[in-house]
Structure 1
Amino acid sequence: MNPYVLMVLLSSLGLGTTLTFASSHWLLAWMGLEINTLAIVPLMAQHHHPRAVEATTKYFLTQATAAAMILFASTTNAWITGGWDMNNMSNPIASAMIVTALALKIGLAPMHFWMPEVLQGLDLLTGLILSTWQKLAPLTLILQTAQAVDPLLLTAFGLMSTLIGGWGGLNQTQLRKVLAYSSIAHMGWMIIVLQYAPQLTLLALLTYIFMTSAAFLTLKISSATKVSTLAVVWSKSPILTATTALVLLSLGGLPPLTGFMPKWLILQELAKQDLPLTATVMALAALLSLYFYLRLCYAMTLTISPNTTAATTPWRIRVTQASLPLALFTTVALGLLPVSPTITMLVT
């Protein structure tokens, strides 16, 4: 892609998210979401592959549906209350409709069906943008409107997302679909605690962004898109293979890695709110996700590929791609648990 065009598209992505962050008016927030969507569509379709075009079409139709729902709900709320202010969401039907539309935008269950299919059709860097940056603006709007929504709706979204994110990833052979279901499960953890401790939602979002960025950049450097190709990654870079296994375990939430911190604090908060059953279901759903992360670790570190491997055997070559972001994200994804008290003081 032409670097000038790429610069314009990336700037538009930043502009759309910033506009949504800074707005207190529903029309401006809707405009920021639309700028975001229109900026990422050319990035998704840049390879002109039928699979990429199909994924782009599915994404565009899904986002257009969600945007129409947001516009309709905000117009309904403005008609009833007389203003477009986000903090004046007195109509419960409009509030529920807006949160449902935003859940469709970020791929929360049961509106998650587009997420694995779209991510599977993209290259890894565009998939990274879709899994991280594109979640920021809708989550900000959910944070601002969560207090006007029925808590049962948010709890249902959170529980369904963690369960479906865990079950859906169990039988996948494509790494991008595994990461898509991982995204759905992590979004469930963020939504479930949103009404009780929004700062924990932000903490979970930040740690998820670091861990997922490390995973996507590792797969980009390794040129791995299937579970079967992970068995030959060790011959290209043994150290990268070891750190990738730890990043996957961190995504699963195992101590003493960074990914354990948000899950631990969220379960603690749910227990404080007298929701032991919800906390138990969330912890059991985390075991489902941990299982498919362990599958990937097993394929990477404990198996030797057969002699007739379906993938091209990678030899140990000089990595020409930028690895400084990968090193930074991997370090953060592995080593932040000891400073949990400091982080919790900063976010509370």
Structure 2
Amino acid sequence: MNPITLIIIYFTILMGPLVTMLSSNLFIMWIGLEMNLLALVPLMTNKPTTRSTEAATKYFLTQATASMILLFSILINFKQLGSWTFQPETSNIIMTMTFISLAIKLGLAPFHSWLPEVAQGVTLTVNLILLTWQKIAPLSIMSQFYELMNPNLLILSATVSVLIGAWNGLNQTQMRKIMAYSSIAHMGWMISILSYNPSLMILNLLIYITMTISMFVILRAHSFTSITSVSLMWNKMPMATPMMSLILLSTGGLPPLTGFLPKWVIITELTKNSNLMLATVLAMTALINLFFYTRLIYSTSLTTFPTNNNSKMYTHHQPHKMNNIMPPLMITSTMLLPLSPLLL
């Protein structure tokens, strides 16, 4: 792709969520979401293959449907109230339509089925954008109007999301699908706390983005796309093996790593608000998530797979330059729990 075109596309992807977050006008927020959508599709088809074309088509059709529902709800609200923002007088049907459209964009259950398929068909770089940056704009709209949304609908979607993200991640062997189902489960955690404490949702989002970026930096180093390829990391990137293990444990929420912090505070907040059933479901599904993360660690660190080569270590043949952002990402992904009183 032409470098100038690439710069324009990345700039549009960068500006989309910023336009949405900095605006109080619903129509401008919708424009920010469309900037994100239209800029990501060319990136998906940058290296055209059958899988990437299929993934781009699924992504465009799904997101266009969500945008149509959102725009429809915005126009109905403007016709009824004469305002380009949601008011306390906005009907429940309009807010339900808005939540459905944003849930489709986030990949929340039961509107999640497009996300693993799209994630499997695109490159790791596009996957990283899809699972991190693209979540910011819809979540920012939800955090602005969460008081007008039906809390029971939020809790139901969060419960189904964490269950589907945990159970469907168990039988996956492709890293991109595993990270997609992990994203669905994490979105469920964020939505579960939205109606009680939106600041905890933002904290969870920041920590999730940090851990996901750390994971994809390691995966991109040698294009690790499946558990089989990850199992050969021990003789290609020896130093990355313990780093990836720690990031996976942190993503699973094992104390005393950073990933335990959002799960801890979310369960505490739910307990304070007498929502013991949802807190129990979240804690149980966190164990299932931790199981398939541990399975990855077993494949990466605790087994030595046979190779057809005489030389077991390839670091002296293929020198690797770890990304400069990896050390700070590693620290923030694993060692922020002692700062939890300051962060909260």
TM-score normalised to the size of structure 2? 0.96
For residue 288 of structure 1, report the CA deviation from its aligned partner. 1.1
Aligned residues: 340
The 8 Å contact of residues 16 and 36 in structure 1, kept in 2 or not, is answered as yes
For residue 327 of structure 1, report the CA deviation from its aligned partner. 2.3
CA deviations 1:96-128 (Å, max 9, x no partner) are: 110110010010001000000000011111100
The 8 Å contact of residues 77 and 86 in structure 2, kept in 1 or not, is answered as no
Match of 2:176 in 1: 176
Structure 2: state its 5+ residue gaps: none
The answer to whether 1:148 aligns with 2:148 is yes
What SS is found at the alignment partner of 2:47? coil
Match of 2:241 in 1: 241
Match of 2:15 in 1: 15
For residue 324 of structure 1, report the CA deviation from its aligned partner. 1.1
The 8 Å contact of residues 233 and 314 in structure 1, kept in 2 or not, is answered as no
The 8 Å contact of residues 55 and 121 in structure 1, kept in 2 or not, is answered as yes
CA deviations 1:152-180 (Å, max 9, x no partner) are: 00001111111100001000010000000
CA deviations 1:254-300 (Å, max 9, x no partner) are: 00100000000000000000111110111001111111101100000
For residue 22 of structure 1, report the CA deviation from its aligned partner. 1.4
The 8 Å contact of residues 86 and 144 in structure 1, kept in 2 or not, is answered as no
What SS is found at the alignment partner of 2:231? helix
Range 80-89 or range 274-283, more displaced: 80-89
TM-score normalised to the size of structure 1? 0.95
- What RMSD, in angstroms, separates the aligned Cα atoms of the two structures? 1.4
Give distance in 1, aligned partners of 2:47 and 2:86.
39
Give distance in 1, aligned partners of 2:42 and 2:242.
35
The 8 Å contact of residues 41 and 60 in structure 1, kept in 2 or not, is answered as yes
1:1-348 alignment to 2 at 5 Å?
Answer: 1-87=1-87, 90-307=90-307, 315-316=314-315, 317-320=318-321, 323-344=323-344
Give distance in 2, aligned partners of 1:279 and 1:295.
25
Give distance in 2, aligned partners of 1:237 and 1:308.
18
What SS is found at the alignment partner of 2:213? helix
What SS is found at the alignment partner of 2:130? helix
The 8 Å contact of residues 109 and 161 in structure 2, kept in 1 or not, is answered as yes
For residue 314 of structure 1, report the CA deviation from its aligned partner. 7.8
The code of the aligned residue for 1:170 comes to: L
CA deviations 1:319-346 (Å, max 9, x no partner) are: 14x61122221221011011010000xx
The 8 Å contact of residues 211 and 333 in structure 1, kept in 2 or not, is answered as yes
CA deviations 1:203-227 (Å, max 9, x no partner) are: 0000000000001111001321010
What SS is found at the alignment partner of 1:238? coil
For residue 87 of structure 1, report the CA deviation from its aligned partner. 4.5
For residue 67 of structure 1, report the CA deviation from its aligned partner. 0.2
Structure 1: state its 5+ residue gaps: none
Give distance in 2, aligned partners of 1:189 and 1:41.
28
Give distance in 2, aligned partners of 1:48 and 1:328.
34
The 8 Å contact of residues 173 and 227 in structure 1, kept in 2 or not, is answered as yes
The 8 Å contact of residues 169 and 292 in structure 1, kept in 2 or not, is answered as yes
The code of the aligned residue for 1:315 comes to: Y
The 8 Å contact of residues 30 and 71 in structure 1, kept in 2 or not, is answered as yes
Give distance in 1, aligned partners of 2:332 and 2:295.
23
For residue 89 of structure 1, report the CA deviation from its aligned partner. 5.9
The code of the aligned residue for 2:192 comes to: I
The 8 Å contact of residues 230 and 300 in structure 1, kept in 2 or not, is answered as yes
Give distance in 2, aligned partners of 1:83 and 1:18.
22
The code of the aligned residue for 2:333 comes to: A
Give distance in 2, aligned partners of 1:314 and 1:128.
29
What SS is found at the alignment partner of 1:241? helix
For residue 246 of structure 1, report the CA deviation from its aligned partner. 0.5
Q: 1:277 to 1:88 in 2, by over 3 A?
A: closer
